[in-house]
Amino acid sequence: MTVPRTTVGPAQVPRHWLRMVVIWAVLSAVAVPLIVLVLGPHLPPGRMTAEAGSQRDANTVMTALLAPIVVAVLVFFVYAIVVFRERGTAIVDGPPLRGHVPMQTAWVVFTSVIVIALAAWGSYTLIVSSHGAGGGQGPDPVAVPSHRSQDLVVQVIGQQWNWTYRFPKYDDVETDHLELPDNSPIELHVTSLDVTHSFWAYQLGVKADAVPGADNVAFVHTRNDGTFNIRCAELCGLWHGHMYQTGDVVSPAAFKSWISSQQTAEAPNLRYLPPFGRTYYPAPFRRAG
Amino acid sequence: MTTYAAARPLRPAWRGFFGFNMFTALALGAGGWFLGAYIGGQIAVGNDYLLGTDQNDVGILLGYLFGLIGWLGGLGFFNYPISRLLGRPATVREKETGGWARYFTLCTDHKVVGIQYFFGVGIFFFIGGLNAMLMRTELLRPVEHAWPAGQYLSLMSLHGTMMIMMTSAFILGPFGNYFVPIMIGARRMAFPRIESLTFWLVPAAGLILLSAIAFGGIPTGWTGYAPLGTEGRSGMDAYIFAFLLIGLSLTLTGINLLTTILTMRAPGLTWTRLPIFVWGVLSTSILMALAAPVLIAALLMELMDRAANTSFYLASSGGSPYLYENLFWFFGHPEVYILALPGFGIVLEILPVFARKPLWGYRLAVAGMLGVTFLSFMVWQHHLFVSGINGGLRPFYMLTTELISIPTGFIFLNAMGTLWHGRIRFTVPMLFALAFFFNFLIGGLSGIFLSDVPSDVTTHGSYFVMAHFHYTIMGGLVFAFFAAVYYWLPKMTGVILNERLGRIHFWLMFVFFNLTFFPLFAAGFLDMPRRVSTYAPSLQTLNDFVSASAFVLGFSMLIFIGNLIWSLVFARIPAAENPWASRGLEWQVPTPVPVDNFEHIPVINSGPYEYGVEGAPPTATLGPVAVPAAGR
């Protein structure tokens, strides 16, 4: 931006831009490594699955990318309101600057490039590299891993106010606890028996709405052993906050023994269960309370 | 100009309670409720058995409908149609003269409606804020302790619904109605009776929403998702009916303001001279007129599901919950820009006045607002990224959502350019306007995380979302609202607000707003879902800190209310006609503003932001003009 010579002579003009760029560069040079190296390893949701890892990467990259932008805007604002504050009490008009076409163009181009690059990168992660990034994709997923036929299929059933799990490859057994083998591709089919819930396995990086009458598929590839939290992320009534469980990612051998013990324990109950289906239509709707 | 101060015989003060006013309306509304509930109870015998409930929704809904008719009739909304049917002459004026009583009546003076909105919406906003305080009390401990779970759920839903309903009219109601006609050099709005109707629907909606407490509360939050809303107790009927009224009010407000701005601008007020606040109102009105009817449709179907045994949203009988989610968010996303755009208009209106410079990049600001308006209809499915609907369309919605940050960025560039080399004075309105940019920067950029699907899988439905939209709505809209209050109230009321109390209010609110909501980003990242009354014990320290900050934030509102009462009732220091030395047309008219605003329709000579321009003519010629000036 240029200042008309009539108001301030060029010799008196401090080098505002240089100062601001230096402040910005110093602050950004401190902030970005801190974010990548110190904050990044603590950003959610961890590296228990490939999808969780891609989400942590997304969170890290975006925080690191947005920090210099925040710093730039704030440095400008703080600098401007400190340097250009009115020191006297009289009301004096400033120079009538109306705009600066090259600067406006540069701003538009710069923000557009960042935004489109972010959208392209997010789409690439979502569709190509991360197979839906752990999010629910509906009954006909578009981002499908190549090895889908080997997936361990787990049906997640939400109801007020608990989660249960059915394993169609293991005699349709239904359990109230979730264990998964490590280093395996998993295919979660999320549905609901009453109202809309949302299956949120935090460390797995999975979130998929459980919608009555819908089969919502999410893919996840487990990596490390550990315990993960399961919560409901969509308001489902009185005990929404209590739809809380923990699950475990264990070795394949431990998973095999766990699932066979479940099959034995649940065998007497199996004949009371409805046949396995992608969705379930419960009894006609009744008003709560 | 006509004289309205015609001599009238003196009446005793108590006579003011009788006639077509708010008190009659309350009485007739209550009577209507009982009549409707009785009729509903008679015609819907057995309905409760069909729906498997002990409650008769038909009775309650008919009660609300008859109560509404009684309320509007008591205010006198049917008088004019009846008098026209009887062949009486047409008029656009109702109760434009008179003292305090006209603030409680159907009044066609847009300035009275503005004041009505300011206090009406303010009272309900205060109730919504109290709900937030009660919620934060429960969240002091990770287990259920202060309120039972169901009561917390109702408090949370009332807070959300009340705030969304009231903040929709937070700026357009008081300041849009009051100042848009003055800023465009008009004497009134295009549809003065509809303008009054849009206001009087708001307290009706607020009271109906509050009545949900008596019928089992609202279990759904402000979104009212089916089928949870379908199975909710009769409090849901209050939610549906109240939100329907707000939808109607928003639609009518949008149409009214749109028509006013398009057709009633004074001669010489070209599109490039239009104050930027009016541009903000114009783009908001487009959103209101186009989006709110979709809400009405969605809610009517939910009402049918509850009361008439249909199944639009019930999967077990062939409907789909996705239909509600789509319809609701098709309204719901433009709705959040209904909240944001007036704020953009306010802060860009205020910055040039206190930086003493023209608005930098005026055309870019207009492009930004219209760009947001256009794009906001194309992003709604980002609320449904993990819902399992249209998985293949997610890259499209990711792109459109991120694109909307480009026009929003224009607003920041305008502000930065306007401050550059300005002569910045830190008045209270300026402080609030500057804080708007700090808050909206954080709020807007946190939205980038939510727009990116891989990142959204973690943050969706968590406290991260909650922190994000409080940064944009409270940090953005409410800060802009207070900027407007401190800026324009001297013109609206004729008295100045205490500046020291204003500064204390600002600093407390700004600091503790950030201390309240910034930690909630972390709560979301640490897997705390929204809308829970119990949470992981490891998050207690964080939540206690947030609650303590929230209480101070609530206290800062009391300082504002104290300032308002002190300045308006006790101190009453008269304000100068143009205390900020603004070029805005609204500051060129006398205080208090005459009923007709202008003695002669003004002729606009130049834009409102010509600060420091040598030889710039005054904004408008207010005196009589022999020949109307040409457009440019």
Contacts 24+ apart (CB under 8 A), B350-353: B350/B429, B350/B430, B350/B433, B350/B483, B350/B484, B350/B487, B351/B414, B351/B415, B351/B418, B351/B419, B351/B430, B351/B433, B352/B418, B352/B609, B352/B611, B353/B487, B353/B580, B353/B581, B353/B582, B353/B583, B353/B584, B353/B611
Answer yes or no: are the C-beta atoms of B589 and B598 closer than 8 Å: yes
Q: Which of B299, B282, B118, B147 is nearest to B226 (CA)?
A: B299
Q: Which residues pair with A163 in a beta bridge?
A: A158
CA distances from B93 to B186, B226, B591 (A): 15, 44, 21
Question: What fold characterizes domain B107-621?
Answer: Cytochrome C Oxidase; Chain A (1.20.210)
The C-alpha of B542 sits at a distance from chain A's nearest C-alpha, in angstroms, of 17
> Helices (H), strands (E): how many in chain B?
21, 2
Q: How many residues does chain A have?
A: 289
Q: What is the pLDDT of residues A80-136, one digit of tens each?
A: 999 999 888 888 888 888 888 999 999 999 999 999 999 999 999 888 888 888 889
pLDDT recorded at residue A283: 55
**A97:B417 CB<8 A:** yes
CATH class of the structural domain A148-272? mainly beta
H or E stretch at A102:
helix A101-123
Amino acid in position B435? A
Q: Which of B475, B418, B419 is nearest to B447 (CA)?
A: B475
Parallel/antiparallel/unpaired status of strands B603-604 and B620-621: antiparallel
pLDDT recorded at residue A286: 56
Interface with A, mutate which of B215, B387, B610 (most A CBs under 10 A) = B387
- According to the 3-state scheme, what is the secondary structure of B363-421? HHHHHHHHHHHHHHHHCHHHHHCCCCCCHHHHHHHHHHHHHCHHHHHHHHHHHHHHHCC
CA distance B527 to B510: 27
Q: Which of B413, B300, B265 is nearest to B348 (CA)?
A: B413
Q: Cα A227 vs. chain centroid, distance in angstroms?
A: 19
* CB contact B313 to A (< 8 Å): no
The chain B residue lying nearest A125, using CA atoms, is B454
Spatial neighbors of B562 by CB under 8 A, at least 6 apart, are B501
CA distances from B544 to A57, B555, B632 (A): 30, 17, 60
Average pLDDT, integer, range A11-16: 74
CA distance B211 to B276: 39
Parallel/antiparallel/unpaired status of strands A197-201 and A226-232: antiparallel
Q: How many residues does chain B have?
A: 632
**A115:B406 CB<8 A:** yes
Report the residue from B361, B425, B457 with minimal CB separation from A133: B457
**A286:B458 CB<8 A:** no
Domain boundaries, chain A: 14-83, 148-272
Answer yes or no: are the C-beta atoms of B341 and B368 closer than 8 Å: no
pLDDT recorded at residue B317: 81
Report the residue from A96, A208, A213 with minimal CB separation from B315: A213
DSSP A198: E
- φ/ψ (deg, to 5) at A5: -65, -25
CA distance B423 to B427: 12
The chain A residue lying nearest B426, using CA atoms, is A85
**How is B418-465 classified by DSSP, letter by letter?**
HHTT--B---HHHHHHHHHHHHHHHHHHHHHHHHSHHHHHHHTTBHHH
pLDDT recorded at residue A5: 47
CA distance B368 to B404: 9
Q: Which of B578, B587, B560, B575 is nearest to B495 (CA)?
A: B575
Amino acid in position B240? I
**A80:B612 CB<8 A:** no
The percentage of chain A sitting over the pLDDT mark of 90, rounded to a whole number, equals 62
pLDDT recorded at residue B3: 47
Sign of CA dihedral B483, B484, B485, B490: positive
Interface with A, mutate which of B311, B427, B455, B539 (most A CBs under 10 A) = B455
CA distance B446 to B429: 26
What ipTM did this prediction achieve? 0.91
* CB contact B529 to A (< 8 Å): yes
Q: How many CB atoms lie within 10 A of CB A243?
A: 25
- Rg, chain B, Cα only: 25
pLDDT recorded at residue A287: 60
- φ/ψ (deg, to 5) at A198: -140, 120
Q: How many CB atoms lie within 10 A of CB B490?
A: 22
Q: Which of B106, B253, B249, B275 is nearest to B190 (CA)?
A: B253
H or E stretch at B603:
strand B603-604
SS3 A57: helix
Q: How many CB atoms lie within 10 A of CB B441?
A: 20
Task: Please identify every stretch of chain B with a pLDDT value under 50, giving residue numbers as ranges.
Answer: 1-3, 5-6, 631-632
Sign of CA dihedral B490, B494, B499, B503: negative
Q: What is the pLDDT of residues B120-172, one digit of tens each?
A: 999 999 999 999 999 999 999 999 888 998 899 999 999 999 999 998 988 99
Answer yes or no: are the C-beta atoms of A79 and A20 closer than 8 Å: yes
CA distance A76 to A68: 12
**A289:B233 CB<8 A:** yes
**B225:A139 CB<8 A:** no
**A216:B458 CB<8 A:** no
Max distance between CA atoms of chain B, in angstroms, equals 78
Interface with B, mutate which of A2, A84, A157, A189 (most B CBs under 10 A) = A84
Q: Decide: residue B444, CB within 10 A, 0-12 exposed, 13-18 middle, 19+ buried.
A: buried
- φ/ψ (deg, to 5) at A173: -65, 140
**How is B284-349 classified by DSSP, letter by letter?**
HHHHHHHHHHHHHHHHHHHHHHHHS---SS-GGGT--HHHHHHHHHHHHHHHHHHHHHHHHHHHHH
Q: What is the pLDDT of residues B365-395, one digit of tens each?
A: 999 999 999 999 999 999 999 998 888 899 9
The C-alpha of A262 sits at a distance from chain B's nearest C-alpha, in angstroms, of 28
pTM to 2 decimal places:
0.92
Q: Which residues pair with A207 in a beta bridge?
A: A135, A200
Quote the strand ranges of chain A, DSSP E: 152-159, 162-167, 173-175, 179-181, 185-192, 197-201, 206-210, 216-221, 226-232, 245-250
**B445:A69 CB<8 A:** yes
Interior/surface letters A34-50, b for 16+ CB within 10 angstroms, e for the rest = ebeeeebeebbbbbbbb
Report the residue from A125, A139, A285 with minimal CB separation from B454: A125
Answer yes or no: are the C-beta atoms of B248 and B297 closer than 8 Å: no
Answer yes or no: are the C-beta atoms of B514 and B550 closer than 8 Å: no
pLDDT recorded at residue A89: 85
Angle made by CA atoms B91, B247, B207, in degrees to the nearest 5: 90
Q: Which residues of B touch A137 (CB under 8 A)?
A: 388, 391
Q: What is the pLDDT of residues B78-106, one digit of tens each?
A: 999 999 999 888 887 777 777 778 889 89
Parallel/antiparallel/unpaired status of strands A245-250 and A226-232: antiparallel
Domain boundaries, chain B: 107-621
Q: What is the pLDDT of residues A19-56, one digit of tens each?
A: 999 999 999 999 999 999 999 888 888 889 999 999 99
pLDDT recorded at residue A9: 47
Answer yes or no: are the C-beta atoms of B611 and B357 closer than 8 Å: yes
Q: Which residues of A touch B416 (CB under 8 A)?
A: 73, 76-77, 80
pLDDT recorded at residue B49: 62
Euclidean distance between the first and the last CA atom of chain A, given in angstroms as a whole number: 66
CA distance B505 to B205: 30
Parallel/antiparallel/unpaired status of strands A185-192 and A152-159: parallel
- Rg, chain A, Cα only: 27
CA distances from B596 to B111, B343, B386, B574 (A): 10, 27, 54, 22
DSSP A269: G
A-proximal residues of B, 480-509, CB under 8 Å: none
Answer yes or no: are the C-beta atoms of A243 and A156 closer than 8 Å: no
Report the residue from A103, A108, A207 with minimal CB separation from B386: A207
Q: Decide: residue B90, CB within 10 A, 0-12 exposed, 13-18 middle, 19+ buried.
A: exposed
> Helices (H), strands (E): how many in chain A?
4, 10
Q: What is the pLDDT of residues B194-252, one digit of tens each?
A: 999 999 999 999 999 999 998 888 999 999 998 888 888 888 999 999 999 999 999 99
pLDDT recorded at residue B2: 47
H or E stretch at B258:
helix B235-263
